[in-house]
């Protein structure tokens, strides 16, 4: 029930902030997709996604987040089924099979998988507290929970989502509490595996071979962008030129030569930040980063003020996920991280990403709004 | 009651907050470095960094005949195009380009204006297509004076034989706005718009490549950045035989009609002709509205593929069906005789035999050889047409042959029930008479007729007519061979088939036979003529004008004992089947039997 008392506890400032970021996103998508014949239909679609997303966000306020936690495993199982479906009947795009056609829309289950993994891990750790932190053997079940969607996502292949799943899960484990000894064990194990991969040529070769050619190219292009300025380095180089040439004040709305001239690939999805940076300059791009930082810190505060472990972990997990999204995406556009396909939350074009982000933020608001309540 | 203490976790939250702030600071400094410190440098890069991808269209796959001789090819041509965004001063570029390509500046401006509505930014506008070599050379030489002007190589589709088999090849044309999405094609791509060009478009199309050139702020080429080679389309090897096709086209000449030649043992189509034709070379450059109106309004319908899209009354060729129905079921005894006095009366109506004086006493063999109408009126009446209709269907009439070409017509096999429903009239005895000699409601397409006589030749096997024999990837050399596809087998009593075949041989060889024109010294030919009336009965004393003259049919196969080719010929308003259609079939059969498999590409 959405009680009046709850309503008064909703952090309306935060809601305004979220909608503000989404509006900046809409103008950027408008500019990035503008065609010679006027605004693109993608822009209209994005408006619909944002409106749907806002509705979903408010809907996510209604049930108690404990109820959401109760259904976490169901949601997790559901997203695995979707991922399996993608493997069999999915639509192919850009050399990878990531979308499920639903009517005339394409649904991208890997986006849902990220959120549902966060919720599932939250529930697992909230129900299984350990004094003094988790040991390696306690991480067996969460490890499997991560591994199943990870393998399915890698198969698509979607390197960006795979990395997101690993990083987000790691942050959740750290939040949930892990013995220092266990961290060291994992680091040492990781180092051994990594050196085996990089130092033993047959193993390295095998792993390298398992990547799609475009992924290989992106990795080499990150290490040396000039190696292939027309191919994969092209993305990175063009993005950097777009960002840099925005200078302090930007070239102005719809005046970004890089983005308007279609030099910039994926400009309405993964590289939307470059469009903003080019057209709004340093002032505009750092303003957007400040908005994100405020949103994320308010999220951290929501986790801190939550009344129980479930709320703290859920909020902490969601904030971790959003943090990674935001920074990996912007880091990629700014040329300090390799090009992996990760959308900028609330801004990048894409229905599934927009709606799952709003759903995640809705849960955050949910936890925040119930900070004064008592649970029995 | 469960009340976990979240305190432990909350202790670690500042870590997350610190991580957020730290990363934000890193990004902040990175952006400050890129945009403020290095901003001017990147601004310069953005100015000079004008990389133009020039789309490189792959050559479409070549279409060969069964012996590897090209029937549809490509020729490399050069277009002079203009990228308005790259011209420092559009007026200057136009003014300098105009004398080189011998055009008025206003004409160039108009070409640009026309393209504006459908063009993407930086997409070149074609000014001169298939520019002569001197113009191309002049443009290349004066690059520096002509910012924005580029030379684009194009593989132009070329149909060396013009109208020959044009309905089968179809044609290519610019992709329409509607097709763009469903065909996954980009603006300006030429895709198959009809015939085999359309059916196998995805194979023929290939994959586009691109050439990247760097242009400076003035739009002049600074350097070539490299080429991503296009992948040529897959080549098709058809079942058609160039010589047989040409022989059929020439034999039909200027007359409207269709010729179908098939290998009765595999369903491979050896020749497929529809006249009148059109020149598919009109289309690839974009057919002019004038030419299009002329083609589509032509009363002789040159765009129609008569071989598969047109249906005609089968005339006396249908007697093959009546014969098989009667003999196979035992309802006709081959030794039964009928006396033909030149006409037969039923009720108040009199039905004439084509031979005014009558055939006298005829048995089955003589009746089919001489195509005696009175005999078949009698048999049609004896069996009833609903019974014959079952055999017509068994022989493939009334349903599509499933050839890959579009808009195939199924034709029509009437029944009493059909007539009641569609014509709202009962089935009269007169209908039995008329339909038994292939007049009335029956409708058959030339390809059906060829398939039917092929099945009589091969003992009842129905193949899906095959046009594509194999495909070959030009880059890898990988081949894919298409095997004959047997659709079904119709079973007939062997004696019945033998009796019919022997009479069909008599048609071209015995005294009184109606198709001596189909006979060739190369091999015995079996067949049947047909003359399909366009108007029910001619008014005595009037001369038939061309459009009211009868359609001439011939269906047959050769050699009679070991069939290698089955042919159906239809000449619209050609008059008698024996005189007009049979000689065409003979030319086709002779060409095939003489040269089959002996001619290959030079």
Q: What is the pLDDT of residues B255-298, one digit of tens each?
A: 999 999 999 999 999 999 999 999 988 887 778 888 888 888 88
pLDDT of amino acid B217: 52
Tell me if chain B has a CB within 8 Å of the CB of A44.
no
pLDDT of amino acid B350: 86
- For residue A167, the chain B residues in CB contact (below 8 A) are none
Contact A327/B23, CB-based, under 8 Å?
A: yes
For the segment A215-243, what is each residue's pLDDT rounded down to a tens digit? 776 666 666 555 555 555 667 788 888 89
Contact A244/B225, CB-based, under 8 Å?
A: no
Confidence tier at B601 by pLDDT (50, 70, 90): very low
The pair of three-digit structure tokens given for residue B503, joined into one six-digit string? 């009479």
The yes-or-no verdict on residue A312 having pLDDT over 80 is: yes
Q: How many angstroms away from the CA of B262 is the closest CA of chain A?
A: 41
State the best of B34, B40, B48, B184 to mutate against chain A, taking most chain A CBs within 10 Å: B34
Q: How far apart are CA B483 and CA B268, in angstroms?
A: 10
For the segment B2-36, what is each residue's pLDDT rounded down to a tens digit? 344 556 777 888 989 999 999 999 999 999 999 99
Contact A245/B43, CB-based, under 8 Å?
A: yes
The DSSP code sequence of A136-174 is GGGGHHHHHHHHHHHHHHHHTT-HHHHHHHHHHHHHHHH
Q: At what angle do helices B582-595 and B242-252 cross, to 10 degrees?
A: 160
Q: How many angstroms away from the CA of B223 is the closest CA of chain A?
A: 13
Contact B26/A297, CB-based, under 8 Å?
A: no
pLDDT of amino acid A222: 60
- Decide if B274 is catalytic: no
Of the candidates B8, B30, B39, the beta carbon closest to that of A177 is on: B8
Q: How many angstroms away from the CA of B267 is the closest CA of chain A?
A: 36
Q: Residue B442's closest CA among B326, B302, B351, B317?
A: B317
Structural element, H or E, at residue B209: strand B209-215
pLDDT of amino acid B539: 45
The yes-or-no verdict on residue A201 having pLDDT over 80 is: no
Q: How far apart are CA A238 and CA A222, in angstroms?
A: 13
User: CA-based angle B314:B316:B318, to the nearest 5?
Assistant: 60
For the segment B428-471, what is each residue's pLDDT rounded down to a tens digit? 888 999 999 999 899 999 999 999 999 999 999 999 999 999 99
Residue numbers of the domain that contains B131:
79-84+106-139
pLDDT of amino acid A231: 54
Average pLDDT over residues B545-562: 85
Residues 6+ apart with CB under 8 A from A355: A49, A52, A53, A56
Contact B27/A257, CB-based, under 8 Å?
A: no
Of the candidates A229, A244, A313, the beta carbon closest to that of B35 is on: A244
Our CA dihedral for B151, B152, B155, B159, rounded to 10 degrees, sits at -60
Is the preceding omega at residue A212 within 30 degrees of 0, hence cis?
Answer: no
Torsion-angle region of residue B589: left (phi > 0), alpha (psi -120 to 50) or beta? alpha
For the segment B364-412, what is each residue's pLDDT rounded down to a tens digit? 999 999 999 999 999 999 999 999 999 999 999 999 999 999 899 999 9
How large a percentage of chain A has pLDDT more than 70? 84
Residues 288-347 of chain A with CB under 8 A from chain B are 289-290, 292-293, 296-297, 300, 303-304, 306-313, 316, 319-320, 323, 327, 330-331, 334-336
State the best of B14, B21, B24, B207 to mutate against chain A, taking most chain A CBs within 10 Å: B24
pLDDT of amino acid B120: 64
Higher pLDDT, B38 or A155: B38
Task: Please report where in the chains the tokens 């004076």 appear, as a residue.
Answer: B145
pLDDT of amino acid A97: 61
The yes-or-no verdict on residue B166 having pLDDT over 80 is: yes
- Contact indicator for A312, A361 with CB cutoff of 8 Å: no
For the segment A237-265, what is each residue's pLDDT rounded down to a tens digit? 888 888 988 888 888 887 777 766 556 66
For the segment B484-498, what is each residue's pLDDT rounded down to a tens digit? 999 999 999 999 999
- For residue B209, the chain A residues in CB contact (below 8 A) are none
| Count of CB pairs separated by less than 8 Å, A with B | 154
For the segment B76-124, what is each residue's pLDDT rounded down to a tens digit? 889 899 888 777 788 888 999 999 888 899 989 888 888 876 666 677 8
Average pLDDT over residues A25-38: 83
- Contact indicator for A61, A365 with CB cutoff of 8 Å: yes
pLDDT of amino acid A96: 56
The yes-or-no verdict on residue B146 having pLDDT over 80 is: yes
For the segment A126-182, what is each residue's pLDDT rounded down to a tens digit? 887 776 678 777 888 889 999 999 988 887 777 788 888 999 999 998 888 887 778
Q: How far apart are CA A319 and CA B16, in angstroms?
A: 9
Examine residue B440 and state whether it is found in any structural domain, yes or no: no
Q: How many angstroms away from the CA of B19 is the closest CA of chain A?
A: 9
Q: How far apart are CA B474 and CA B471, in angstroms?
A: 9
The DSSP code sequence of B281-342 is GGSTT---HHHHHHHHH-TT-TTS-HHHH--B--GGGGHHHHHHHHHHHTSS-TT--EEE-S
Q: Using the CB atoms, write b or e for A298-319: b if 16+ within 10 Å.
A: bbbbbbbbbbbbbbbbbbbbbb
Contact A282/B31, CB-based, under 8 Å?
A: yes
- Contact indicator for B308, B409 with CB cutoff of 8 Å: yes
Quick one: chain A helix, strand, coil %, rounded to 5? 70, 5, 25
Q: How many angstroms away from the CA of A360 is the closest CA of chain B?
A: 17
The yes-or-no verdict on residue A194 having pLDDT over 90 is: no
pLDDT of amino acid B454: 96
For the segment B293-335, what is each residue's pLDDT rounded down to a tens digit? 888 888 888 888 999 999 999 999 999 999 999 999 999 999 9
Q: How far apart are CA B253 and CA B164, in angstroms?
A: 11
The CB density around residue A280, as the number of other CB atoms within 10 Å, is 24
The yes-or-no verdict on residue A103 having pLDDT over 60 is: no
Confidence tier at B216 by pLDDT (50, 70, 90): low
- For residue A277, the chain B residues in CB contact (below 8 A) are 31, 35
Of the candidates B17, B23, B49, the beta carbon closest to that of A300 is on: B17
pLDDT of amino acid A193: 79
The yes-or-no verdict on residue B598 having pLDDT over 60 is: no
pLDDT of amino acid A362: 94
Total domains, chain B: 1
pLDDT of amino acid B64: 95
Q: Where are the domains of chain A?
A: 4-369
Tell me if chain B has a CB within 8 Å of the CB of A102.
no
Q: Residue B21's closest CA among A11, A325, A327, A345?
A: A327
SS3 B487: strand
pLDDT of amino acid B403: 92
As a residue count, chain B comes to 602
Contact A376/B1, CB-based, under 8 Å?
A: yes
pTM of the model: 0.61
Confidence tier at B597 by pLDDT (50, 70, 90): low
From B81, B266, B274, B316, active-site residue:
B316
The yes-or-no verdict on residue B349 having pLDDT over 90 is: no
The yes-or-no verdict on residue A214 having pLDDT over 90 is: no
Question: Beta strand pairing status for B63-64 and B235-238?
Answer: parallel
Examine residue B111 and state whether it is found in any structural domain, yes or no: yes
pLDDT of amino acid B540: 47
pLDDT of amino acid B436: 92
* Mean pLDDT taken over chain B: 87
Residues 6+ apart with CB under 8 A from B107: none
């Amino acid at each position: 029930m959405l009680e009046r008392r709850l309503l008064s506890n909703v952090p309306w400032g935060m809601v305004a902030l979220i909608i503000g970021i989404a509006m900046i996103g809409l103008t950027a998508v408008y500019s990035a997709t503008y065609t010679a014949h006027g605004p693109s239909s993608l822009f209209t679609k994005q408006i619909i996604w944002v409106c749907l997303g806002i509705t979903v966000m408010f809907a996510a306020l209604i049930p108690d987040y404990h109820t959401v936690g109760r259904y976490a495993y169901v949601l997790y199982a559901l997203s695995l089924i979707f991922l399996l479906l993608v493997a069999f009947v999915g639509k192919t795009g850009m050399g990878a099979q990531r979308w499920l056609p639903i009517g005339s829309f394409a649904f991208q289950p890997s986006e849902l998988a990220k959120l549902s993994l966060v919720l599932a891990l939250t529930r697992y750790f909230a129900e299984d507290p350990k004094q003094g932190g988790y040991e390696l053997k306690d991480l067996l079940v969460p490890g499997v929970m991560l591994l199943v969607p990870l393998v399915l996502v890698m198969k698509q292949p979607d390197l960006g989502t795979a990395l997101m799943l690993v990083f987000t899960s790691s942050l959740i484990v750290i939040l949930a509490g892990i013995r220092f000894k266990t961290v060291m064990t994992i680091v040492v194990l990781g180092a051994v595996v990594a050196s085996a991969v990089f130092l033993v040529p047959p193993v390295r070769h095998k792993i390298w071979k398992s990547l799609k050619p475009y992924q290989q190219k992106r990795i080499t292009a990150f290490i040396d962008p000039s190696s292939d300025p027309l191919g994969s380095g092209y993305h990175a180089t063009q993005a950097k030129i777009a960002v840099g040439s925005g200078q302090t004040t930007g070239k102005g709305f719809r005046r970004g030569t890089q983005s308007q001239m279609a030099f910039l690939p994926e400009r309405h999805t993964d590289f939307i930040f470059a469009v903003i940076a080019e057209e709004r300059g340093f002032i505009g791009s750092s303003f957007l980063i400040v908005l994100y930082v405020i949103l994320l810190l308010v999220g951290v505060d929501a986790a801190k003020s939550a009344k129980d472990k479930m709320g703290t972990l859920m909020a902490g997990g969601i904030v971790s996920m959003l943090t990674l999204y935001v920074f990996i995406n912007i880091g990629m556009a700014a040329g300090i991280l390799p090009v992996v396909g990760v959308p900028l939350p609330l801004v990048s074009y894409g229905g599934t990403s927009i709606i799952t982000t709003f759903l995640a933020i809705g849960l955050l608001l949910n936890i925040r709004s119930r900070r004064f309540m008592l649970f029995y | 009651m469960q009340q976990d203490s979240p305190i432990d976790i909350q202790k670690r939250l500042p870590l997350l907050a610190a991580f957020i702030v730290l990363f934000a600071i890193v990004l902040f400094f990175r952006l400050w470095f890129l945009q403020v410190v290095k901003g001017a440098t990147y601004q310069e890069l953005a100015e000079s960094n004008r990389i133009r991808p020039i789309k490189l269209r792959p050559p479409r796959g070549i279409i060969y005949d069964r012996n590897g001789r090209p029937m549809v090819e490509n020729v490399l041509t050069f277009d002079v195009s203009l990228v308005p965004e790259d011209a420092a001063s559009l007026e200057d570029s136009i003014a300098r380009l105009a004398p080189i390509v011998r055009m008025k500046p206003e004409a160039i401006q108009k070409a640009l204006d026309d393209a504006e509505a459908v063009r993407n930014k930086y997409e070149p506008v074609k000014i001169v297509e298939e520019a002569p070599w001197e113009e191309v050379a002049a443009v290349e030489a004066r690059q520096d004076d002509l910012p924005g002007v580029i030379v684009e190589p194009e593989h132009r589709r070329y149909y060396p034989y013009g109208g020959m088999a044009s309905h089968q090849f179809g044609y290519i044309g610019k992709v329409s706005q509607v097709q763009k999405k469903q065909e996954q094609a980009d603006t300006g791509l030429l895709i198959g718009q009809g015939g085999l060009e359309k059916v196998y478009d995805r194979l023929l199309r290939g994959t586009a490549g691109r050439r990247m050139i760097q242009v400076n702020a003035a739009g002049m080429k600074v350097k070539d950045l490299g080429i991503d080679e296009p992948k040529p389309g897959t080549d098709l090897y058809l079942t058609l035989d160039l010589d047989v096709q040409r022989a059929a086209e020439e034999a039909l000449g200027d007359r409207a009609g269709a010729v179908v030649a098939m290998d009765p043992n595999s369903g491979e189509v050896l020749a497929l002709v529809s006249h009148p034709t059109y020149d598919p070379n009109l289309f690839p450059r974009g057919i002019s509205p004038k030419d299009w109106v002329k083609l589509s309004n032509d009363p002789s319908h040159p765009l129609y593929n008569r071989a598969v899209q047109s249906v005609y009354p089968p005339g006396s060729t249908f007697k093959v069906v009546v014969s098989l129905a009667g003999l196979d079921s035992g309802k006709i005894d081959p030794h039964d005789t009928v006396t033909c006095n030149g006409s037969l009366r039923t009720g108040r109506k009199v039905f004439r035999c084509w031979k005014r004086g009558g055939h006298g006493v005829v048995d089955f063999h003589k009746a089919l050889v001489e195509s005696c109408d009175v005999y078949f009126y009698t048999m049609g009446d004896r069996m009833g047409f609903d019974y014959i209709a079952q055999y017509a269907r068994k022989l493939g009439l009334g349903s599509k042959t499933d050839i890959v070409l579009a808009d195939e017509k199924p034709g029509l096999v009437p029944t009493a029930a059909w007539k009641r429903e569609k014509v709202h009239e009962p089935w009269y005895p007169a209908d039995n008479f008329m339909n038994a000699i292939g007049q009335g409601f029956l409708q058959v397409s030339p390809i059906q007729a060829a398939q039917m006589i092929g099945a009589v030749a091969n003992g009842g096997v129905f193949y899906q007519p095959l046009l594509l024999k194999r495909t070959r990837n030009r880059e890898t050399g990988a081949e894919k061979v298409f095997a004959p596809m047997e659709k079904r087998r119709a079973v007939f009593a062997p004696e019945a088939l033998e009796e019919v075949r022997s009479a069909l041989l008599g048609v071209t060889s015995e005294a009184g036979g109606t198709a001596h024109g189909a006979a060739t010294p190369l091999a015995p030919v079996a067949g049947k003529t047909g003359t399909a009336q366009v108007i029910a009965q001619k008014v005595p004393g009037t001369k038939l004008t061309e459009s009211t003259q009868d359609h001439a049919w011939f269906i047959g196969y050769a050699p009679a004992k070991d069939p290698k080719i089955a042919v159906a010929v239809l000449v619209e308003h050609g008059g008698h089947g024996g005189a007009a259609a049979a000689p065409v079939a003979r030319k086709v059969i002779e060409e095939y039997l003489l040269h089959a498999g002996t001619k290959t590409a030079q």
